[in-house]
């Protein structure tokens, strides 16, 4: 009995050891380091002012280890971004700038990473209240990488920055520029994902301008041009916001709800729309 247990345990240990050796290094090990560092980083981010210096140092050390030990792992890309964000969040701006440079150098053919690096440079200046330098970086991002997730958002981002600072004149000007930019992007990438993103950002820009009429038109256009379940789910709340809450045009909202009803099959959403339409029709009577 004891012999049997020992033999079986030894077989299991040998297999475990063998598979551990064969599976050591590579993607999995890199993911493990990244996960450990991120777990600590999230804890720090929840309350950065009271984070012990040792914990801060350990996140930095682990992320640097990841970049050094596994430079070609897929997760390392996110390790670079995490280290950059870590420096920005902890106000280590010089180190953050170096990390952004590193990203640009290492991923010189990856537009997504280059745009992240460019945005971070702008953000570093913005955090230091050096808006003009930040704006310069954001403009480069908008011009060089307009088709990236960050690049396409820049015009609206700039407008919102001015808005948050109470600079109404600059904000309106930035929003108008954004409207032109999104119209151009939408026509250039019409019918594609990027065209849809530009269209949604255009609605948001009109909403920021409080131009609800134009926002409504843009919304109707987007619903008609990009009819899919995902787009309806994203845009339906805007129907209420624009046509009911701001324009007081419940008939138009009912028309759009009925249009969406005719395009989808999901029973729960159909039921939800039916209730909405019923409520609006009763209210109208």
Partner 1 sequence: MRYSIKSNWSSTFESLSKNSVLFTPFIIIAFLECLALELFFFSARTPLVLLFGPIIKKIFGEQFLHYPGNLVLLPRLFYYGQIVIYILAGAFLTAIAVKIFVNIRTGHPVILKAIIKGAGRRYLTFVGYGLIYIALIFILERGEGFAFLKFTRLISRHLFKISPQIYSIGAAKLLFFTFVIVQIFLALTIPIVITEKKALFKAILGSISIGMRHFLKVFCLVLVPLLLYLPLIFMKTFLVAIIDKTFPDISLYITFLGIVAAIFIDCFVMMSLTQFLLDTKKAK
Provide the binding-site residues for partner 1, judged by CB under 8 A: 1, 4-5, 8, 11-12, 15-16, 19-20, 22-23, 26-28, 31-32, 35, 75
- Closer of 43 and 91 to partner 1 (Cβ): 43
Distance from C-alpha of 88 to C-alpha of 146, rounded to nearest angstrom? 24
| Nearest distance, CB of residue 22 and partner 1, angstroms | 6
C-beta separation of 162 from 175 below 8 A? no
| Nearest distance, CB of residue 28 and partner 1, angstroms | 5
Q: Tell me whether residue 150 is exposed, middle or buried, using C-beta atoms within 10 angstroms of its C-beta: 0 to 12, 13 to 18, 19 or more.
A: buried
Our CA angle for 38, 42, 47, nearest 5°, is 150
- Closer of 19 and 270 to partner 1 (Cβ): 19
- Closer of 29 and 135 to partner 1 (Cβ): 29
| Nearest distance, CB of residue 276 and partner 1, angstroms | 20
| Nearest distance, CB of residue 9 and partner 1, angstroms | 9
- Closer of 1 and 282 to partner 1 (Cβ): 1
- Closer of 14 and 168 to partner 1 (Cβ): 14
Which among 104, 108, 59, 103 is positioned nearest to 81, based on CA atoms? 103
Our CA angle for 104, 105, 110, nearest 5°, is 55
| Nearest distance, CB of residue 279 and partner 1, angstroms | 19
- Closer of 17 and 108 to partner 1 (Cβ): 17
| Nearest distance, CB of residue 112 and partner 1, angstroms | 18
For 179-224, the three-class secondary structure string (H helix, E strand, C coil) is: HHHHHHHHHHCCCCHHHHHHHHHHHHHHHHCCCHHHHHHHHHHHHH
Which residues are within 8 A (CB) of 55 and not within 5 positions of it... i.e. 6 or more apart?
40, 43, 44
Distance from C-alpha of 159 to C-alpha of 267, rounded to nearest angstrom? 39
């Amino acid at each position: 009995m004891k012999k049997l247990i020992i033999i079986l345990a030894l077989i299991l240990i040998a297999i475990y050891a063998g598979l551990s050796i064969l599976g050591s290094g590579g993607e999995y090990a890199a993911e493990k380091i990244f996960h450990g560092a991120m777990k600590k980083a999230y804890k720090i981010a929840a309350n950065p002012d009271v984070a012990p210096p040792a914990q801060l140092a350990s996140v930095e050390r682990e992320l640097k280890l990841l970049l050094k030990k596994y430079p070609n792992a897929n997760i390392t890309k996110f390790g670079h971004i995490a280290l950059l964000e870590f420096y920005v969040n902890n106000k280590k701006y010089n180190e953050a700038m170096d990390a952004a440079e590193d990203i640009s150098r290492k991923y010189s053919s990856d537009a997504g990473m280059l745009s992240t690096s460019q945005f971070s440079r702008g953000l570093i200046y913005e955090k230091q209240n050096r808006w003009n330098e930040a704006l310069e970086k954001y403009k480069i991002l908008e011009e060089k990488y307009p088709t990236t997730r960050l690049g396409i958002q820049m015009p609206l981002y700039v407008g919102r920055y001015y808005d948050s600072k109470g600079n109404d004149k600059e904000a309106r000007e930035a929003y108008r520029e954004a409207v032109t930019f999104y119209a151009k992007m939408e026509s250039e990438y019409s019918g594609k994902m990027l065209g849809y993103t530009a269209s949604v950002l255009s609605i948001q820009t009109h909403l920021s301008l409080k131009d609800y009429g134009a926002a409504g038109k843009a919304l109707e256009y987007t619903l008609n041009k990009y009819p899919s379940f995902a787009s309806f789910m994203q845009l339906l709340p805007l129907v209420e916001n624009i046509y009911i809450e701001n324009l007081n045009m419940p008939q138009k909202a009912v028309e759009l709800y009925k249009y969406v009803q005719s395009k989808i099959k999901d029973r729960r959403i159909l039921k939800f729309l039916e209730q909405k339409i019923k409520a609006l029709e009763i209210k109208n009577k």
